[in-house]
Amino acid sequence: MNGYGGIMSSLASVADAPPLVREALRFRRSMQRPEDLVATFRRADVCLECVSAPPTVPVVHVDGIPWLPVFSDLRYFSEYRRQRGEGDLAAEYLVLTGARLLDGYLPGMPQGTSLLLDPLQEHSVTLPALRGILAESIAVDRNRPDRPVSAQSPYEKPVKRAWGGTL
């Protein structure tokens, strides 16, 4: 994982950013080709906070939906902890590929757990628990293949904000 601290504000820093950050920024600006964002996420190394006793990963609930904060860089993780007032406390984290997180970890989490990539950053994006992101067997829209995401999901508000209602 490469270190790129702070919010990226210039095109020069974007060009030097890891592929996942560049893809997230591209997606936020265009709201086009979400499948490219998902593919880049699957290939990337990401980190997430964990607690060893008892073994768990913290989730954040927004509009009643569980979101798992994940980070493309440890500096973003550190900044997130500082913003929560936890910057001086020791933290545990896992580093794994996005594919392993989506395919191996999320199926064991509460139904509907979605991902929030790099919260508090300019390039922050959500990866909701929908077909095309997660395995169909755990996607919240698995029983409604014929309807747009925003029309079929209890995730309507966050999906419309993050994905424009379609995937």
pLDDT (tens digit, 9 = 90+) per residue, 43-72?
Answer: 999 999 988 877 788 888 877 888 899 999
- Residue 154, pLDDT score: 40
Q: Is the per-residue pLDDT at 6 higher than 70? A: no
* pLDDT tens column, 117-163: 998 898 888 888 887 888 878 888 776 655 444 443 343 444 444 44
C-alpha distance from residue 39 to each of 24, 53, 83 (Å): 11, 33, 29
d(CA 140, CA 131): 8
Identify whether 106 is part of a domain. Answer: yes
Range of the domain at 25: 11-163
Identify whether 5 is part of a domain. Answer: no
Identify whether 20 is part of a domain. Answer: yes
Average pLDDT over residues 16-36: 88
Identify whether 4 is part of a domain. Answer: no
- Residue 167, pLDDT score: 34
At 26, is the secondary structure helix, strand, or coil? helix
The number of domains in the chain is 1
Task: Tokens for 10, please give them.
Answer: 């210039």
Global pTM reads 0.77
Q: Which residue has the tokens 């029983």?
A: 143
d(CA 121, CA 32): 20
Q: Is the per-residue pLDDT at 94 higher than 60? A: yes
Per-range mean pLDDT, top range of 23-32, 37-46, 81-90, 112-121:
37-46
d(CA 93, CA 88): 15
C-alpha distance from residue 138 to each of 38, 40, 72, 114, 153 (Å): 16, 21, 24, 11, 13
